[in-house]
C-alpha cells in the first residue's frame, strides 16, 4: 500500500519540472472574395517587447483541454472565428527556449481554413483587434509567428497538391472556375482550364449541384459540391 502511494503521483508533480507554460497559436486562412489568400491576424499588445504589433491568434491551454481544443477556443475568443466553420490540423510545436521573452512558453501551432462565404459580414470586415491580411503583407509578426506562418503556407501548398484540403476553404457550392482560382491563389501558379477540369472531374470528388450561378453578362456557371463532406483523401494535382 505504501508502494501504491508512491505510484499515485503527479497530483504532486515537483515544482522544478513544471517550468513551462503551454500555448496554442493558429494560422487561419481564407481566400477572400477579391481572390487574395489571407491569414487572420490579431493585435498583440504585450509591451515592452510586443507593443501593439500584429500576430497570430493564440493563447494558453487550460489544465483540462487538449492543444486542439485550446486552439479552437482562442480562435474564437481572440479572432472571432467560430470553430464550427473551420477545418483545423496540427502544424508544428515551437519550443525555442527564448521564443517568448517573458518566460518559457511552448506553443503548439495549428493550421486552420475557413470559407470566406461562411463568415459573417463583421468577421469578413475585421476591426482593430482582428483582421484579414494578405499573405505577402503579413510580416514582422510577434514572437516566432513569422516562422509559424511560413511553415503554415508551405504545408497548405503541399497538402493542396495531394489532398482535398481546399474543400475546406471553398464555399459549399462553387463553379469550376472558382475552384481553379482557389488552387491558383494557394499554389501561386496559373493552371490550364481544360486540363484542370478534366483532372479534377476524373478524381470523382465533386458532384454537380442543382443550381447554376447567373453572374454577369455571360453564360451561367454550373455549380459543384465536394462529395465527401468533411474528410480528405490522397490525390494529386
Partner DNA sequence: CCAAAAGTGTTTTTCCTACACCCATGT
Partner DNA sequence: ACATGGGTGTAGGAAAAACACTTTTGG
Give contact residues for a copy of itself (rule: CB under 8 A): 3-4, 7-11, 13, 16-22, 46-49, 60-61, 63-68, 90, 92-93, 95-97, 102-106, 108
CA–CA separation, 93 vs 100, rounded Å?
14
Task: Report helix, strand or coil for 157.
Answer: helix
Among 45, 62, 134, 192, binds DNA (CB under 7 A): 192
Of the candidates 49, 104, 157, 198, which one interacts with DNA according to CB under 7 A? 198
Closer Cβ to DNA, 93 or 222, answer by number:
222
Give least dist CB 188 to a copy of itself, A: 16
Q: Which three cell numbers mark 24?
A: 496554442
The partner in contact with residue 102, picked from a copy of itself, DNA, none with C-beta cut-offs of 5 to 8 angstroms by kind, is a copy of itself
E strands within 8-57? 21-31, 37-46, 50-55
In the bound state with DNA, the residue whose beta carbon lies nearer, of 151 and 191, is 191
Q: Answer whether 209's CB lies under 8 Å from 179's CB.
A: no
Query: How far lies 226's CA from each of 39, 44, 89, 232, in Å?
Result: 23, 37, 19, 10
How many residues lie near DNA (CB under 7 A)?
22
Q: How far is the CB of 131 from a copy of itself (least distance, A)?
A: 25
Pairing of strands 37-46, 50-55: antiparallel
Let me know: does 58 contact 73? Beta carbons within 8 Å: no
Residues that bind DNA (CB under 7 A): 175-177, 192-195, 197-199, 202, 212, 214-222, 236
Amino acid at each position: 500500500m505504501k508502494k501504491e502511494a508512491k505510484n499515485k503521483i503527479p497530483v504532486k508533480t515537483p515544482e522544478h519540472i513544471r517550468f513551462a507554460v503551454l500555448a496554442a497559436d493558429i494560422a487561419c486562412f481564407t481566400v477572400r472574395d477579391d481572390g487574395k489568400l489571407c491569414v487572420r491576424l490579431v493585435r498583440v499588445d504585450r509591451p515592452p517587447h510586443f507593443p501593439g504589433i500584429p500576430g497570430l491568434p493564440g493563447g494558453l491551454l487550460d489544465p483540462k483541454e487538449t492543444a486542439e481544443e485550446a486552439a479552437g477556443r482562442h480562435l474564437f475568443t481572440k479572432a472571432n472565428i467560430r470553430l464550427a466553420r473551420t477545418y483545423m490540423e496540427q502544424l508544428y510545436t515551437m519550443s525555442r527556449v527564448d521564443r517568448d521573452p517573458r518566460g518559457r512558453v511552448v506553443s503548439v501551432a495549428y493550421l486552420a481554413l475557413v470559407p470566406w462565404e461562411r463568415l459573417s459580414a463583421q468577421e469578413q470586415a475585421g476591426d482593430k483587434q482582428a483582421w484579414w491580411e494578405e499573405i505577402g503583407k503579413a510580416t514582422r509578426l510577434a514572437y516566432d509567428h513569422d516562422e509559424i506562418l511560413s511553415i503554415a503556407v508551405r504545408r497548405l501548398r503541399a497538402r493542396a497538391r495531394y489532398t482535398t484540403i481546399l474543400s475546406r476553404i471553398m464555399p459549399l457550392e462553387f463553379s469550376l472556375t472558382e475552384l481553379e482560382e482557389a488552387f491558383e491563389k494557394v499554389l501561386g501558379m496559373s493552371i490550364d482550364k481544360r486540363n484542370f477540369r478534366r483532372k479534377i472531374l476524373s478524381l470523382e470528388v465533386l458532384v454537380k449541384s442543382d443550381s447554376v450561378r447567373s453572374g454577369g453578362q455571360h453564360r451561367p456557371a454550373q455549380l459543384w459540391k465536394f462529395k465527401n463532406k468533411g474528410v480528405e483523401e490522397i490525390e494529386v494535382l
